[in-house]
């Protein structure tokens, strides 16, 4: 799953002005949409957050809706970036462990983005249905096929690959979407690096155990 511009996909060289502006606009729009929703967000407010003239925002995104979709697309792309490149000859324990840890870190470091995406889905994905069908569904099928190949090769126990991906998505995103509840119940006003590692280790151990695998990073300890 890729969009024409990505906030991370810069070349090794210094990013261009266009790339920098795009990244700044996406970040500003994420905060604005998370605070006010699509209906309440204003392009002028996004421009103000980005520190750019409103005309510059419209140069990249003609409508508020197109910017909103780009923000959501970017969130999903960041979530699944590492899992884009898994192959049939990979070690499933390494690949799944890294995917889980990347997703937990995203939830801890950018919970606003996760909650914005969750809000869109809870509303029935009115602005993402085409994207989900045309891009995310083929991506999911392709990744599930790789997991099935690991099962066929005897590298892991037989599980439903699609349900496995859903489980990883939901269990890792829980720490962003329900941050307020977790913070209150655990008396932790702010998530820290120690908790991030504890959650990553716990989820990796539990999920991989169900696949007949041992998390490689726990093996190292």
**Range(s) within the chain of domains with CATH label 1.10.357.10:** 81-219
Report the pLDDT value the prediction gives residue 130, as an integer from 0 to 100: 85
Fold of 81-219: Tetracycline Repressor; domain 2 (1.10.357)
CATH 1.10.10.60 spans which residues of the chain?
1-64
User: 196 pLDDT exceeds 80?
Assistant: yes
Is the predicted pLDDT of residue 3 greater than 70, yes or no?
no
Whether residue 30 is predicted with pLDDT greater than 60 in this model: the reply is yes
Cα Rg for the chain, rounded, in angstroms?
19
In this model, does residue 168 exceed pLDDT 80? yes
The fold adopted by the segment(s) 1-64 is Arc Repressor Mutant, subunit A (1.10.10)
Cβ neighbourhood burial of 48 (10 Å; 0-12, 13-18, 19+): middle
Contact yes or no for 43/64 (Cβ under 8 A): yes
CA–CA dist 116, 185 (Å, integer):
23
pTM of the model: 0.81
Contact 60, 25 (CB under 8 A): yes
């Amino acid at each position: 799953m890729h969009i024409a511009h990505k906030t991370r996909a810069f070349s090794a060289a210094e990013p261009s002005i266009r790339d920098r502006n795009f990244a700044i606009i996406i970040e500003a729009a994420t905060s604005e949409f998370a605070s006010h929703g699509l209906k309440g967000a204003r392009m002028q407010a996004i421009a103000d957050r980005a520190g750019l003239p409103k005309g510059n925002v419209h140069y990249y995104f003609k409508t508020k809706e197109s910017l909103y979709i780009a923000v959501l697309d970017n969130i999903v792309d960041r979530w699944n970036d590492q899992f884009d490149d898994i192959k049939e000859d990979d070690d499933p324990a390494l690949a799944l462990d890294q995917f889980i840890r990347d997703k937990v870190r995203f939830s801890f470091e950018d919970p606003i983005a996760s909650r914005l995406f969750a809000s869109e889905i809870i509303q029935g994905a009115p602005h993402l249905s085409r994207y989900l069908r045309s891009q995310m569904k083929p991506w999911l099928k392709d990744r599930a096929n790789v997991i099935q190949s690991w099962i066929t090769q005897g590298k892991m126990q037989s599980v439903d690959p699609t349900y496995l991906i859903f489980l990883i998505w939901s269990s890792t995103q829980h720490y962003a979407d329900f941050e307020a509840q977790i913070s209150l119940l655990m008396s932790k006003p702010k998530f820290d690096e120690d908790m991030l590692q504890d959650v990553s280790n716990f989820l990796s151990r539990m999920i991989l155990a169900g696949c007949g695998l041992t998390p490689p990073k726990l093996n190292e300890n």
